[in-house]
Amino acid sequence: MNENKMSTAKLAKLAMMTAVSIVLLLIVRIPFPPAPFLVYDPADVPIYITAFAFGPIEGLLVTLVVCLIQAFGLGGDGLYGFVMHFVATGIVAVVIGMMYKNNKTKKTAIKALVVGVVIAVVVMCFMNLLVTPVYMGAPRSAVVAMLPTVIIPFNLLKAGINALLTFLLYKRISGLLRGTTGTVKKED
């Protein structure tokens, strides 16, 4: 019976983080000047915080729900938008959740965020080369030309800013999510 209460409480917290992510998605939207069809939003911050607080599976679950709502419920880019957002955000959530889960230090948190951002940027280059020509009907050579001027800078900025915001906010929120004071081991 106690495990069910914990599961219900955890589910409620995951739902809350999903809702916060959706609200951020709706209220903060900044077009990326070189390509205004790409838009920065801080919706990944609650997802990254979820991965830190609960682990990679929970981070990926919140990513899935947020991406589904955005792509199909809020007039996003449909299947294309869903796939691209899920991969970009999901990679970071899984990386930080896995790296931080067994070694909850500030140093590990920083490493996890940096590694997650770098992997996401690299993977999104490949995803854009594979998916964008099909979705936009553009030749792959046009996508290759956009890599250094649009795709890499956008993904680096979006994931980087969201990683920084996560780092600044996580410890302030983690105690509420886990029902503790949110303390972290001191290191270096």
**CATH code of the domain in which 115 resides:** 1.10.1760.20
Separation between Cα atoms, residue 122 and residue 6, nearest integer Å: 37
Q: What is the pLDDT of residue 5?
A: 55
What are the backbone dihedrals phi and psi of residue 37, each rounded to the nearest 5 degrees, phi first? -75, -15
Separation between Cα atoms, residue 139 and residue 20, nearest integer Å: 37
Provide the sign of the torsion angle of the four alpha carbons 107, 62, 116, 76, taken in this order.
negative
Domains identified in the chain, total number: 1
Q: What is the pLDDT of residue 80?
A: 87
Q: What is the pLDDT of residue 105?
A: 93
Q: Is residue 2 part of a domain?
A: no
Q: Is residue 75 part of a domain?
A: yes
Q: Is residue 21 part of a domain?
A: no
Predicted TM-score (pTM) of the model is: 0.88
Short-list 61, 53, 4, 12, CA closest to 180: 53
Separation between Cα atoms, residue 160 and residue 21, nearest integer Å: 17
Q: Is residue 165 part of a domain?
A: yes
Q: What is the pLDDT of residue 17?
A: 96
Which residues constitute the domain of residue 78?
42-175
pLDDT of the chain along its 188 residues, tens only?
Answer: 455 555 898 999 999 999 999 999 999 999 999 888 889 999 999 999 999 999 999 999 999 999 999 989 887 778 888 999 999 999 999 999 999 999 999 999 999 999 999 999 999 999 999 998 988 888 999 999 999 999 999 999 999 999 999 999 998 887 777 665 444 444 44
Q: Is residue 128 part of a domain?
A: yes
Angle, helices 56-68/44-54, rounded to nearest 10 degrees: 150
Q: Is residue 31 part of a domain?
A: no
Q: What is the pLDDT of residue 181?
A: 43
Provide the sign of the torsion angle of the four alpha carbons 49, 55, 56, 58, taken in this order.
negative
Q: Tell me the C-alpha to C-alpha distance, in Å, between residue 128 and each of 48, 81, 159, 182, 185.
A: 22, 11, 16, 38, 39
